[in-house]
A and B are shown apart, each in its own frame.
Chain A
Amino acid sequence: MNRKALRRFWSRLNGLLPSRRRDQDLADELESHIELLTEDNIRGGMSPADARRAALLKLGGLESVKESYRDQRGLPAVESLFQDLRYAFRGMRRRPGFTITAVTCLALGIGATTALFSVLNAVLIRRLPVAQPEQLVQLRFQGDAKLPKTVRRSTSGFNRSSFPHYMLQELQDGDSGISELFAFVPLNFDRHGVTVNIDGTPSTAGGEMVSANYFRGLGVAPVIGRAIAEEDLKPGSPNVAVLSYGYWTRQFGRDRSIIGHRISLNGQPFVIIGVAPQEFFGVNAALPPDFWVPLRDVPGLAPWGNSSPKAGAMFSDRAWWWCMLMGRLKPGVTAQRAQLQLDTRFRQLLAAAAPADFKPEILPHVELTDAGKGLDNLRNRLSQPLKLLLAATGLVLLIACANVATLLLARATARQRETSVRLALGAMRGRLIRQYVTESVLLALVGGGLGVLVAYWGSHGLVLLDQDTRGLSLDVQPDGTVLGFCLGLSLLTGILFGLAPAFRATRTNVSTRIQEGVTMHISRLSLGSALVAGQVALSVLLLFGAGLFLRTLGNLESQDLGFRRENLLVFALNPPRTAYTGDRRVEFYHRALEAIQPLPGVESATSSGLALLSGWTNNSDASTDSAAQPTSGKASNTVSWNTVGPNFFHTMGMNLIQGRDLDWTDIRLARKVAVVNAALARQMFPNRNPVGHRFSMSEEYNPSEAIEIIGVVGDAKYASLRGKAEPTAYISYTAIPESVSKMHYEVRTAADPAAVLTAIRTAMRGIDPAVPLVDPKTQTEMLREGLGEERLFAVLCTVFGSLAMILVAVGLYGTLAYTVTRRTNEIGIRMALGAPRTHVLWMVLRESLLLIGAGALVGLPAALMASRLVENQVYGVKPGDPVTLAAALSVLLLVGATASFLPARRAAQIDPQVALRNE
């Protein structure tokens, strides 16, 4: 039975194809039927004419037979859909102006939303391109209690995700629900942590140390060569590296003979054994490695870029937590069960290391988090902004929908006579609504198709706007999810903006509409007006948002940094620790600075452990020698600190308030001296001159003696552009040389810094050709890059706001032009009765202003409420800033007035005689 139905369905599908032959066959068959019947009738005694007539009667109407035969042959529902589509296509072709306007509106709306969504998809939704990503879990722990020093003395890496190295082996050995437990640790916090020497040319890159089962555990096979395996971790085995596809492409031009090639990483020889697949970027999208090396102690190549001489102890030290762990659940094992097993084992191991008198309840608990999408730093950082922006594009799309609905409504009104005639002829209302909605859905689908193109370009542009996403192998190529989203969105919008006009158009009193000519327009525009006012309300939101973000960006860019950003070149040097340690390293830093100073074009040069506005700071607890402790009542004073070289404040253009700058003598003699900023002076030495006083820092970077303050400078920005200056100490770098992992150089130039760069490169090659310049850029570039997110918001919101303005202008113009056309008569009469042209002009403008006013009235409180959502994003401006709001409203009013002036002028130019004759 089922098979029968299936077969019938199939042949009916075939029957959908138009075929003249099939129609001819049926006609032939029926004709022969009629002739046979006619002949029989004649034999029965009828006249030939009667016989044929009787035959036709018996058959029951030739056309109705053909009709029911055709219904049986094909699928009537599908056929009527095709009919509707054909009709809709014809309609679109007949009105190219309308179609282009509507499709463009929709393409922009759908495209913008889809573009945003595809970035969101790449960051928040898509899983790692590895085998069965849903089985992956990351090990983290819960619990903040301070642990005994035998359990945890030091921590490196991200919060709550670093474990001691021995756990990798011990947790795997226990019978757990994890099939593979693997470890991975970045060799750096940024993308320039490792000096790579390829055929004598030094450069910088970022890499990861991974356990032997990392690639197996993730289910990733290299495209060429082999993955890291157990034998690569055996003592005495040669150092090996697997390259990322991107790095292979950039550095080696996808040379397949690269396997077996030797390179050096921080001065250590490594052999390339494989290249990872193109789509694989590791497990942390925020820090995709250029290469992977085995997780073992290699001189000069420590996890987390640790530069201390003790770094080698990380592997054996059971109280140093630094290893990130990830596991694959065994099939059928839930994360909860595996977590329970791992937690028990984890706490046993920790308890064994703890002293006898400790309380077991302070031990942290293992927690398994879903790692199918990789680590969540990037997701955490981008999820809020992306969702906000997606909401903004949603507003644009809504405006576009309202706009097209307005257009459709006007069109439906124009087609009212046609609709009335069809209804009078017996068309079902449902059938007509279906036809209308088919048309709007078709429009939306065409718009959506173009929207995919808009999205394709848009999403790539979006990724480039943000510095954090630009460097990533973030794949925003529209995939199934994105295309599905776009299709769903198109269908939804098509129905959304098509339904109301469809209902409106078919709700009509048949007899009056056919009789009536032009004159009635009482309630016709209430829906259209509401739609226009709604668009205005939504664009108030967008414009206000754009205003807030533009001002935020402007505030951040133009604020006083506390130092001069112009003509300042910044780069870093990170000589290999195998060759440069202790005094040799400090000597290298000295020589580099001395070599830069006399170069032509250089006004002055200095160095610092951390570059300003790089996002990095050092923070420590500090105490002063002074008997009078700070009156603020704080138990401890957290200070930010940086290590700096000679003439730092002069070179940076910072304002020295008291005392003196650091000079070469301080540096050479490794004096324990520092300059502090005004904020620190205020906090630690209220109402006193701090110069001459001493302070000490917490034990980690405690020099043998307290640090003497030799000067006070004005507050300046340190890590980031936001927030006010923290109490900061600028310490001579020779006072705590171990704290410097790589030295940054700041070079103040007379003219364009880029011109000096070549000279500096040559000079640095003269000191050691194997040490590359790390990430050279101007301070202005750095500042701009740091504002990626702010720029993203400002640019996008401005684009969306402008888009909204264009849409509103089109909507307003369309509505008013339509009103004027419909009211030609009335206006003619008014003018004939003596109304001046300015009066008519004002009449139309007033209508537009009413619409804008109504929209603004709704949009204003909504904008004020929505602005609370972006409280954290804005800077230097209150979320409910009245000036910005006023500016947004003025722009709106200006655009609205311009858009309505044309129809208003046309109304004023109506010739009463022509208008009245028109009737």
Chain B
Amino acid sequence: MKDKNDVWQGTLALMVMKTLDMMGPQHGYGIARRIEQISEDLLSVNHGTLYPVLLKLEQEGSIASDWGISENNRKARFYHLTEEGRRELRTEQLHWETTTSIMARFLSAPGGNQ
């Protein structure tokens, strides 16, 4: 029963994990900024949707969080990837790459109506 939202959530989750993998511990704002930067602002993340995703990942044990001090000296929650999250990321990444490559091949195949 996946609806649009779930797909988006899944994709966003993968982005969050990849971000944390590359950058190490980050707070929510940092993750949101990073995703916008990487996608070169093609993807405008509604920052609010990030937090339920973070919570879900944490509930699943892929990420964990600690309270720390942000660059502007404020209390902030820092998320990092767990060992399990790293494994999860590798699987998901592979899965995603396979899917996209299949989709790419499928879509670039010569169409009958050309």
| Chain B residues near A95 (CB-CB < 8 A) | none
| Chain B residues near A61 (CB-CB < 8 A) | 48
B76 within 8 A of A: yes
CB distance from A40 to the nearest CB of B (A): 8
B41 within 8 A of A: no
Q: How far is the CA of A906 from the CA of B75 in the complex (A)?
A: 70
| Chain A residues near B47 (CB-CB < 8 A) | 33, 37, 58-60
Within 8 A of A (CB), among B68-106: 70, 72, 74-77
Count of residues in A whose CB is under 8 Å from the partner chain = 28
B113 within 8 A of A: no
Q: How far is the CA of A422 from the CA of B70 in the complex (A)?
A: 45
Contact between chains at B52 and A36 (CB < 8 Å):
no
A25-B72 contact in complex given A36-B29, A60-B49, C-beta closer than 8 Å: no
Binding stretch for chain B, among A67-75, A141-149, A301-309, A893-901: A67-75
B5 and chain A: residue at smallest CB distance: A68
A28 within 8 A of B: yes
B34 within 8 A of A: no
* B-contact bits for A781-824, CB 8 A (1 contact / 0 none): 00000000000000000000000000000000000000000000
* A-contact bits for B54-78, CB 8 A (1 contact / 0 none): 0110011100000000101011110
A69-B60 contact in complex given A28-B75, A33-B29, A37-B29, C-beta closer than 8 Å: no
Question: What does DSSP make chain A's interface, helix, strand, loop or mixed?
Answer: helix
CB distance from B8 to the nearest CB of A (A): 13
Contact between chains at B77 and A29 (CB < 8 Å):
yes
Within 8 A of A (CB), among B13-67: 27-29, 32-33, 46-49, 51-52, 55-56, 59-61
| Chain B residues near A12 (CB-CB < 8 A) | 59
A68-B52 contact in complex given A35-B72, A58-B46, C-beta closer than 8 Å: yes
| Chain B residues near A670 (CB-CB < 8 A) | none
Q: How far is the CA of A7 from the CA of B63 in the complex (A)?
A: 13
A849 within 8 A of B: no
A64 and chain B: residue at smallest CB distance: B48
Contact between chains at B76 and A29 (CB < 8 Å):
yes
B91 and chain A: residue at smallest CB distance: A1
Within 8 A of B (CB), among A4-25: 4, 7-8, 11-12, 25
| Chain A residues near B48 (CB-CB < 8 A) | 59-61, 64-65, 68
| Chain A residues near B59 (CB-CB < 8 A) | 7-8, 11-12, 72
* Among A7, A32, A73: residue with most chain B CB under 10 A: A32
| Chain B residues near A58 (CB-CB < 8 A) | 46-47
Contact between chains at B51 and A32 (CB < 8 Å):
no
* Among B47, B61, B70: residue with most chain A CB under 10 A: B47
Q: How far is the CA of A516 from the CA of B48 in the complex (A)?
A: 44
A525 within 8 A of B: no
CB distance from B55 to the nearest CB of A (A): 5
| Chain A residues near B74 (CB-CB < 8 A) | 32, 35-36
Q: How far is the CA of A881 from the CA of B86 in the complex (A)?
A: 85
B45 and chain A: residue at smallest CB distance: A58
Contact between chains at A39 and B72 (CB < 8 Å):
yes
| Chain A residues near B27 (CB-CB < 8 A) | 32-33, 36
| Chain B residues near A198 (CB-CB < 8 A) | none
A472 within 8 A of B: no
| Chain B residues near A11 (CB-CB < 8 A) | 59
CB distance from A371 to the nearest CB of B (A): 51
| Chain B residues near A60 (CB-CB < 8 A) | 46-49
| Chain B residues near A7 (CB-CB < 8 A) | 59-61
Q: How far is the CA of A11 from the CA of B60 in the complex (A)?
A: 8
Contact between chains at B51 and A26 (CB < 8 Å):
yes
- Write the residues of chain B forming the contact surface with A, with a CB cutoff of 8 angstroms: 27-29, 32-33, 46-49, 51-52, 55-56, 59-61, 70, 72, 74-77
A selection of 19 A-B contacts at a CB cut-off of 8 Å is A7-B61, A8-B56, A29-B28, A29-B77, A32-B74, A32-B76, A35-B72, A36-B70, A36-B76, A37-B29, A58-B46, A60-B48, A60-B49, A61-B48, A65-B48, A65-B52, A69-B55, A72-B55, A72-B56
- Write the residues of chain A forming the contact surface with B, with a CB cutoff of 8 angstroms: 4, 7-8, 11-12, 25-26, 28-30, 32-33, 35-37, 39-40, 58-61, 64-65, 68-69, 71-73
